[in-house]
Amino acid sequence: MKRVHLAIIVVFALLAIRFWPHATLHARVPVSTGVWSADGELLRVTLAADAQYRLWTPLSEISPRLVDAILLKEDRWFFWHPGVNPIALTRAAFRTYTGGDRQGGSTLTMQLARRIYGLNTRSAGGKARQVALAAWLECRYSKRELLEAYLNLAPFGGNIEGIGAASRVYFNKPPSRLTLGESLTLAVIPQRPAARASRGASDTELLRARDQLGRQWLSDRRSSDSDRRQVELPIVARANFALPWRAPHFVDAVLGDGASASAPHVKTTLDTNLQRSLETQVQRYLAERGEDGMRHAAALLVDTRDMGVKAWVGSADYFARGDGQVNGVLAKRSPGSALKPFIYALALDQGVLHPRTMLRDAPSAFGPFTPENFDGRFVGPIPAQDALVRSRNIPAVWVTSQLTQPSFYQFLQGAGIRDLKPEAFYGLALSLGGGEVTMEELASLYAMLANGGVLREIRTVEKVGADGDGETRLLSPEASFVTLDMLRHNPRPIGSGLAATRSQWPVAWKTGTSWGFRDAWSAGVLGPYVLVVWIGNFNGQGNPAFIGLDAAAPLFFRIVDALAIARPGEEQLAIAPPAGVSKVAVCVGSGDLPNADCPHTVDTWYIPGKSPIRVSQLHRSIAVDMRSGQPVCPPYTGAIRFETHEFWSSDMLSLFREAGMPRRPPPALPSCASVDRGEAPRMASPMRNVSYTIRSGPGQDSISLEAAVAGDVQRMFWFDGNALIGVRAVTDRPLQWRPTRAGIHLIRVIDDRGRAAERDVTITIR
């Protein structure tokens, strides 16, 4: 009876030892971080805390043939002994201490104990401790747990430990895909890793051991001809052995996050096929354009559906001496005009314009800021869509000046653009690339347009947590859609990629060139992706070849066309407009709703309640006496005809003249014509809220008197209070005013139709 009680106590003690909470064997040793792509490829293995490459792999993900080969070589009775094999241990001790060949008698569990506890087993005391700890491990863990731990801690030469790293170093494949020949090769390394796998070791020793184990395998099993051929597999030259090193700049960025760097398994969003495609396109392009001084480039591809990074090329060659490891995707650079779409998107939301609103591209001053166009020329009146697509600077600055809440600066702050200086530092120059952004930040902005105005955080690792985290609405769905539609009218550069075929994807894109030709950009939305391309020098040196349209756009469209081939069917040809937009017909010349006299109309997108829509007053039908050729009033006597004339304002007529497209001025209207159809004068100079200082004496200063008037105006009358300063025809040069007294002057301008404007001007005389 006492024996029964004792047996029960022993059983309960063993069960208590087994099931009492304790750390897993995995947690007892430091492991490497394995960084994986979304499609299951290993990108990199980091060093563990003890400077070993140790990629922990579950037993279920290891080839059964490898497990069998390890057991055949090291411990064929593993599943039958309690951690110690007395027969093998006695035989090893007898041969060792009687002067025979030294022979190991350690079981897998004993070897595991030696590696986990760092034992010195060359002495009798050390061996005894190893036996005791092996028995302890057998009590605490299952056979499968012990076998998994051994396979992940076995030495495979140098600082390679465990089958997870070894299978990739020697055969560039996961342990689950090892063949019989490869399994036999790896199975013999742990017994003598220094002689069979370390640097400097010859293949002869490894081949001899593998062949011996192969013969044992064939004799123990009924093997097929395929197995026999696998046993004779030649060994790969050791010079080719290496751990994977893919998408290095991307992995550096992932590991830069402390949470990812400490995790044993990091699954990223990267698509290795797309990554290889972008790397190939970047390298080929730079090789072709090297004569133009193009040595550095970066590219980023983001899937707008889940905001995952699909490809990340920080530089063309990570191992290039000096600057190869610079991560161009994370570098702060001036975006040039690549931010202009968001100025127009804000203007659409704030009711400043619609795509066909006529803007002025002419010499302009915005306080002390006098922007110029990239080409140094002016095109005169231009629709907002064309101004964006053609990247005209002056219209963009004017649009920026009209934004209220939020301003463009506030919008960028809300979008998470980091390290911005105070708003006053940039002024309106921010609209032309005065600030700096990273490629990541620029990609998130373009993705926001594709996601209906909702800003979502770009991800590099698989998402954890609820959908909607980190989302911020910055634009309406309507403004986002219309902005993308405007950008889709941007034509491809001549000679960039494929001809116009079905394989082309519709692309909403924009270029950018920074001041000093330091950065060339191309960014856009293509199908479900956002692509950003940068060309420049990592040291910031300028190059006249670094123009967005000429340098970045060709590479951009090479990648676009490669994607169209690699991902057919993802182009999303038809994107439904949101319910809040509609199309209206507007007069081509004015961009306003057509009146009865407008000869040509065009459809444009319209956001009800926001878009500025009024009836066009540009075209008017006038009765002309056929004998005198002069406009006449009703009732008409004699033969008349009706002529339609364009009544451009005086400033617009000047723009047309400066752009080389003069317009015929309308005839003077008779007194019977309505005077309330035109606009009141718009005073341009003197400026509002500006104090003028005039020097007295010879060569005294003067103030230019300028105003824009309606198209039916012939003359303007300028007054200082009630005193007439002078009269000027709309085609004359501006009137020059030389005030003779200091103080506040009420300056008024009245056109010949009786419409007026006035402004207080403060004068100081020295």
Tens of pLDDT, residues 738-749? 888 888 898 888
Same domain, 72 and 176: yes
Residue scoring higher pLDDT (260 or 331): 331
In a domain, 362, yes or no: no
Predicted local confidence at residue 502, as pLDDT: 45
pLDDT 10s digits, 235-244: 554 545 678 8
Same domain, 174 and 285: no
In a domain, 272, yes or no: yes
The predicted model scores a pTM of 0.82
Is omega for the bond preceding 635 within 30 degrees of 0, making it cis? yes
Q: Of the residues 240, 263, 296, which one is the last residue of a structural domain?
A: 240
Quick one: average pLDDT of 144-153? 92
Are the beta carbons of 606 and 581 closer than 8 angstroms? yes
Predicted local confidence at residue 8, as pLDDT: 60
Same domain, 263 and 140: no
Strand partners, 720: 723, 747
CB-side neighbour CA atoms (13 Å) of 605: 24
CA distances from 90 to 68, 94, 109, 711 (A): 24, 6, 17, 113
Amino acid 316 reads A
For residues 333 and 454, give the distance between their C-alpha atoms in angstroms, rounded to a whole number. Answer: 24
Predicted local confidence at residue 598, as pLDDT: 85
CA angle 385, 388, 394 (to 5 degrees): 115
Q: Of the residues 194, 214, 240, which one is the last residue of a structural domain?
A: 240
Over its C-alpha atoms, the chain yields an Rg (Å, rounded) of 39
pLDDT 10s digits, 285-320: 999 998 888 999 999 999 999 999 999 999 999 998
Predicted local confidence at residue 757, as pLDDT: 86
**Above 80 in pLDDT, residue 466?**
no
Question: Is 707 in a helix, a strand, or coil?
Answer: strand
CA distances from 46 to 71, 262, 567, 574 (A): 29, 10, 32, 45
**Residue 309 structure tokens:** 């990074």
Cα dihedral 634, 639, 640, 641 in deg (nearest 10): 150
Task: Identify the weakest region by mean pLDDT among 63-67, 122-126, 281-285, 446-450.
Answer: 122-126
Same domain, 179 and 319: no
Same domain, 566 and 613: no
Same domain, 95 and 233: yes
Q: Of the residues 240, 274, 303, which one is the last residue of a structural domain?
A: 240
**Residue 23 structure tokens:** 């750390």
Predicted local confidence at residue 573, as pLDDT: 47
For residue 209, count other CB atoms closer than 10 A to its CB: 20
In a domain, 472, yes or no: no
Task: Return the top range by mean pLDDT from 176-190, 606-620, 649-663.
Answer: 176-190
Specify the length of the chain in residues: 766
In a domain, 393, yes or no: no
In a domain, 151, yes or no: yes
pLDDT 10s digits, 418-436: 999 998 899 888 989 889 9
Predicted local confidence at residue 273, as pLDDT: 95
Task: Return the top range by mean pLDDT from 163-177, 234-248, 334-348, 467-481.
Answer: 334-348
The CATH number for 118's domain is 1.10.3810.10
Strand 703-708 relative to strand 735-737, pairing: antiparallel
Amino acid 525 reads V
The CATH number for 693's domain is 2.60.40.10
The CATH number for 570's domain is 3.40.710.10
Strand partners, 693: 764
For residues 734 and 703, give the distance between their C-alpha atoms in angstroms, rounded to a whole number. Answer: 10
Same domain, 157 and 305: no
Same domain, 220 and 307: no
Predicted local confidence at residue 237, as pLDDT: 46
Are the beta carbons of 90 and 81 closer than 8 angstroms? no
Predicted local confidence at residue 465, as pLDDT: 57
Q: Three-state SS string across 32-99, please?
A: CCEEECCCCCEEEECCCCCCCEECCCCHHHCCHHHHHHHHHHHCCCCCCCCCCCHHHHHHHHHHHHCC
**Residue 637 structure tokens:** 């006597």
The strands making up 682-685's β-sheet, listed across from edge to edge, are: 682-685, 703-708, 735-737
Please provide the average confidence, as pLDDT, over all residues in the chain: 84
By C-alpha distance, which of 42, 76, 271 is closest to 167? 42
Strand 160-161 relative to strand 735-737, pairing: unpaired
Q: In the structure, what pLDDT confidence band is assigned to residue 700 with cuts at 50, 70 and 90?
A: low
Are the beta carbons of 346 and 411 closer than 8 angstroms? yes
For residues 575 and 482, give the distance between their C-alpha atoms in angstroms, rounded to a whole number. Answer: 11
pLDDT 10s digits, 620-639: 777 777 777 777 777 777 77
pLDDT 10s digits, 485-533: 999 999 988 765 544 444 567 899 999 999 889 999 999 999 899 999 9
Phi, psi for residue 412 in degrees, rounded to 5: -65, -35
What DSSP line would sit under 102-120, residue for residue?
------HHHHHHHHHHT--
**Residue 119 structure tokens:** 């034992």
Are the beta carbons of 313 and 270 closer than 8 angstroms? no
Same domain, 285 and 232: no
**Residue 49 structure tokens:** 């805390």
CA angle 609, 612, 614 (to 5 degrees): 110
**Above 60 in pLDDT, residue 245?**
yes
Predicted local confidence at residue 596, as pLDDT: 76
pLDDT 10s digits, 543-581: 999 999 999 999 999 999 999 888 877 766 456 789 889
**Above 90 in pLDDT, residue 618?**
no
For residues 431 and 113, give the distance between their C-alpha atoms in angstroms, rounded to a whole number. Answer: 66
Quick one: average pLDDT of 448-454? 95
Helix 340-349 / helix 393-402 crossing angle, nearest 10 deg = 40
Same domain, 162 and 255: no
Q: In the structure, what pLDDT confidence band is assigned to residue 147 with cuts at 50, 70 and 90?
A: very high
In a domain, 33, yes or no: yes
Task: Identify the weakest region by mean pLDDT among 86-90, 135-139, 625-629, 701-705.
Answer: 86-90
Q: Where are the beta strands (DSSP E) in 87-166?
A: 160-161
CA distances from 699 to 705, 738, 759 (A): 18, 11, 26
Residue 173, judged by CB atoms within 10 A of its CB (0-12, 13-18, 19+), counts as: middle
The dihedral of CA 438, 441, 447, 448: what is its sign? negative
Predicted local confidence at residue 709, as pLDDT: 81
pLDDT 10s digits, 170-198: 888 899 999 888 899 899 999 888 888 77
Task: Return the top range by mean pLDDT from 412-421, 666-675, 680-689, 698-707.
Answer: 412-421
Q: In the structure, what pLDDT confidence band is assigned to residue 61 with cuts at 50, 70 and 90?
A: very high
Query: Residue 459 contacts by C-beta under 8 Å, 6 or more apart in sequence?
Result: 269, 306, 307, 308, 309
Same domain, 598 and 654: yes
pLDDT 10s digits, 338-380: 999 999 999 999 999 999 999 988 877 777 777 888 877 888 8
pLDDT 10s digits, 522-551: 999 998 999 999 999 999 899 999 999 999
Residue scoring higher pLDDT (407 or 4): 407
| Region at 572 (left for phi over 0; alpha for psi -120 to 50; beta for the rest) | left
Q: Looking at the 3D structure of the chain, how many domains does it have?
A: 4
In a domain, 528, yes or no: yes
**Above 60 in pLDDT, residue 102?**
no
The boundaries of the domain holding residue 541 are 246-335+480-580
Predicted local confidence at residue 740, as pLDDT: 83
Return the DSSP state at 13.
H
3-state helix, strand, coil in the chain (%, to 5): 35, 20, 45
Same domain, 235 and 283: no
Strand partners, 737: 703
Predicted local confidence at residue 708, as pLDDT: 83
Predicted local confidence at residue 699, as pLDDT: 60
In a domain, 345, yes or no: no
